[in-house]
Amino acid sequence: MISTRLGVALALLLAVGGIAIGTTAFFAAERKTGDITGRLVQSRATNEYDGPPLAFPLDEFFIGRGSDGVLHAFYSYPPGYFGHVRGCKIVWDAGGTVATTPLAGPGLTPAAGPGLFVDPCGGARFNRDGKLVSGPADRNLDEFATTPAVEGMLVDTRQLYCGSAIEPPQTPTAAEPSPTATATPEQPDKCDRVSPNTKRP
């Protein structure tokens, strides 16, 4: 009687162990070993959150409210040489300001802050909207798509979208009418993520 119970318990233990080993082997085989592929991240930041940007170091993004009232998830690496090639990450400087913006043109605010994203390697500064306000960068901050969920904002780090390109300010002349607001917004380009597995030149 005791040996039968012991045999059943041992068989059950071996069955559970076999299932666990099989499941682990399956997921190990399915996981990509190249570049980082990302995942869905539950941020717990709701639409009501209005504090400083929150850092998610494991998933390499900041989430914070822009001037448009929407929560954005900005990639931790600044665009261009210093971020994508050298691996520098932006930091949030709560007291950071820029008195006059070199990129300021018609309709643009000539000051930024308080509160800026700062590239510590290249010196570029970006406002809460991820827009470049000073320093060297190829484009505005890259970002991940966000979706409102039950317990907060859901961030999809599986695909990175490029920040918009920096264009020099243009002053419309009398011969050229100013562009109309009926233009349809362009879909952002997809960007490659920085990865420890990516070979850098």
The highest-confidence range among 25-29, 61-65, 169-173, 193-197, by mean pLDDT, is 61-65
pLDDT at 37: 74
pLDDT digits (tens, 9 = 90+) for 60-89: 999 999 888 889 999 999 887 656 667 789
Sign of the C-alpha dihedral computed for residues 28, 29, 31 and 33 taken in this order: positive
pLDDT digits (tens, 9 = 90+) for 28-58: 444 444 455 789 998 888 878 888 999 999 9
Q: How many CB atoms lie within 10 A of CB 139?
A: 19
Residue entry with tokens 């999809």? 156
Cis peptide bond prior to 114, omega within 30° of 0? yes
Instruction: Give the separation between CA 111 and CA 190, rounded to whole angstroms.
Output: 30
